[in-house]
Structure 1
Amino acid sequence: MAFSLNEYLARIGFNREARADFSTFQSLHRRHIAAIAFENLDVLLNREILLDDDSIFDKLVTAGRGGYCFEHNALFTRALNDIGFETHNLAARVLVAKPDEMPPRTHRLVMVQCEEATWIADVGFGGLTLSVPLPLKDGAEQASAQGLYRLEKKQNEFLLLLRQHDHFQPLYRFDLEKQYPADYLMANHFIAHWPDSHFRHHLLAALHPLDDCRLTLVNRRQTLHLKPPRQEALKDNDALYDSLQQRFNIRLDHPRHGVTRDAFSNMMDKLLAQEEAESQ
């Protein structure tokens, strides 16, 4: 289905006039991550993830599914462009797992010009996603439910950090080189198909509700991020399937983008058997 700004705004619960101003920009960012889950079901189901605007809109808006960074930030950027914002596509090297060597650019984010200032927006970084846009300047900080975000300039690059438990954790690094659709196609194919990609080894989901605590999922381990966090081991695949729909707002009944309960259970059985084998 072709992209429709009105349908996207309805999907995220934005019910006032959308203008190219900071109030709209900030509200769109916050509402997007509250309504559309981060999730990697299609990777685990061996479905190709298509990155054209219409395919992403059909999956995340029409079908009520979620997705990961290449889908989320593409959809968000398309909406911003339709409203009248000036955007600039970027890519980042993810540092959360503390890689021994410099990792490739496998994360999509966007730079936005708004009210004579430059901002970084990112609605697709899972449980550590920015709550609201962050000013693109050295030393910029933004408090959130996740902790304190900080942006530091390192020569020609920027480093995004998050302070939790009294120390800053590097999340990713990026420069301002413009990215093209081909750049995202290559990175998307790599993280969806590379055998060692964590997206191929774990079911991941995250949602940031407006009036509730952040919710994350790794396989059957569901965490409600209170203080302290409350973790729950979901008892079986049926409970997990129900939680994805009821807690993470992911529709699973769409004829094309959904998945039946039996197919989902078979997928999880294989995934958990693989996890158990790798732990031995």
Structure 2
Amino acid sequence: MKFCLTRYLTRIDYKGRAQADLATLRDIHLHHVCAIPFENLDVLLERPIQLDAESLFAKLVVARRGGYCFEQNGLLKLALNALGFDVEDLAARVLVMAPAEMPPRTHRLMRIRIDDQWWLADVGFGGSTLSAPIRLMADQPQQTPHGRYRLVRQEPGWLLQRWQEENWQPLYLFDLAMQYPSDYQMANHYVASWPESHFRHHLLMSRWLPDGGQLRLYNDRLTRCDSDGNEMQQLFNDSSSLFTALRQAFNLGTDDKTHGISETAFHQIWSDLKILK
């Protein structure tokens, strides 16, 4: 099924202007992260993660599923290209887990040129993903609807940080080397199939909320965070109640013949996670 801009905009509940300017980019970026959840269910089910345009559209738009960075930012790029934006694909080295050695480039993001200025866009970095594009400039804190970020020059590229717990926390390193589909295919395969991959051992979901809050799921713990940072957590003791909760909280489509998630399949994820604990 070919990409359709109108259906994508309906999927993210966007009713604004459809033109290649900064205001539109900001609005679409925000609507995307509030509508399409970050999730790794297919990795846990050992389903292949397909990155071609037809597969991304079928899964994230038609089937109303979510995905991780290669899917989320792949879909956003399709929309931005359709709108006429100048987009370049990038890749980053993730620092969130404080790796002892320099990690590989396993995160997809992009930069967009608008009126001779470059903007960083990323709708696929889990609970810390940007909810608005930020300008590609150094040492200037930039406010988004869901927190402050800044970019720091760290040769040969850039370090993205997020203000959290009264400190600037590192998220990832990237440079401006253009990435190609084959680069993402290799990184996607590594992330989805490497036995030690974080995505293969934990159920991860997140979605920003229009009111400034956030929903996060980590295995059996659902966290609701309001715009002031206050958190309410709920633990689940069985797969059935968690399956119902995640469908409601994350607006997750589960009925599609190809990309749906049955309760039986979800119970298998639950059982595997309990074993891993």
Tell me the TM-score range normalised by the shorter chain.
Answer: over 0.9
User: Partner of 1:278 in structure 2?
Assistant: none
How far off is 1:235 after superposition?
3.0
**Matched residue type, 2:254:** L
In structure 1, runs of 5+ residues without a counterpart are 276-280
Q: TM-score, normalization: structure 1?
A: 0.95
SS of residue matched to 2:246: helix
User: Partner of 2:7 in structure 1?
Assistant: 7
User: Partner of 2:77 in structure 1?
Assistant: 77
State the Cα RMSD in Å.
Answer: 1.1
Is the contact between residue 39 and residue 68 of structure 1 (CA under 8 Å) also seen in structure 2?
yes
Moved segments of 4+, more than 3 Å: 144-147
User: Partner of 1:231 in structure 2?
Assistant: 233
User: Partner of 1:270 in structure 2?
Assistant: 272
**Matched residue type, 2:132:** V
Q: TM-score, normalization: structure 2?
A: 0.96
Is the contact between residue 146 and residue 213 of structure 2 (CA under 8 Å) also seen in structure 1?
no
SS of residue matched to 2:196: coil
How far off is 1:211 after superposition?
2.6
User: Partner of 1:131 in structure 2?
Assistant: 131
Write out aligned runs for 1:1-280 (5 A): 1-144=1-144, 146-211=146-211, 213-226=213-226, 227-275=229-277
Counterpart Cα distance in 2 of 1:101 and 1:146: 30
Q: Would the alpha carbon gap of residues 146 and 6 (structure 1) be closer, same or farther in structure 2, given more than 3 Å must change?
A: closer
Moved more, 18-27 or 258-267: 258-267
Counterpart Cα distance in 1 of 2:78 and 2:261: 27
Is the contact between residue 73 and residue 109 of structure 2 (CA under 8 Å) also seen in structure 1?
yes
How far off is 1:92 after superposition?
0.1
Counterpart Cα distance in 1 of 2:53 and 2:15: 22
State the percentage of identical aligned residues: 48
Tell me the matched-pair count: 275
Counterpart Cα distance in 1 of 2:256 and 2:54: 16
**Matched residue type, 2:201:** H
How far off is 1:115 after superposition?
2.8
**Matched residue type, 1:238:** S
SS of residue matched to 1:210: coil
